[in-house]
Amino acid sequence: MLRSLLEFSGINPLRLRMSWVSASEGKKFADVITEITKALQEIGPQQSYLREAI
């Protein structure tokens, strides 16, 4: 539901990911992180609701 709400507000839902990974599932952890990183690189940095830079 949070993804859906963020999408409704104009944020790409791909920015919120969830997965169940145990400390002993090393390969799965690496795979999940690689996949997320790749997806984020494709959509680029977040441009909405940014904080004011000092």
Partner 1 sequence: MSVQKLKDEAARALGRKDVKYLIGYKKGSYGFRVSPAFIEPKEDIEQLIISPLCNMSLVKYVMMEETLPGLTEQAMKPSKIAIVARGCDSRAINLLIEEKGVPRDKLYIIGVSCKGVIDQRKIEALFPQVTEPAEVTEENGNYIISFQGESHTVPKEELLAELCKVCQYPTPLIYDKLIGDKLPARPANYDDIAAFEALPVEERLAYWQQQFTKCVRCYACRNVCPLCYSTICSLDSLSPQWLRRSVDTSENFMFQIIRTFHLAGRCIGCGECERVCPMNLPLMKLNRKLEKDAKELFGYESGKDPKAKSLLTTFHTEDPQGFIL
Q: Which residues bind partner 1 (CB under 8 A)?
A: 1-12, 17-20, 32, 35-36, 48-52
Contacts of 26 (CB under 8 A, 6+ apart): none
- Give residues with Cβ within 8 angstroms of 48, minimum separation 6: 10, 11
Q: Which lies closer to partner 1 via its Cβ, residue 2 or residue 24?
A: 2
d(C-alpha 6, C-alpha 33), whole Å: 21
The residue among 24 and 51 lying less far from partner 1, judged by its C-beta, is 51
Residue 23 vs 50, nearer CB to partner 1: 50
In the complex, least distance from residue 26 CB atom to partner 1, rounded to whole angstroms: 16
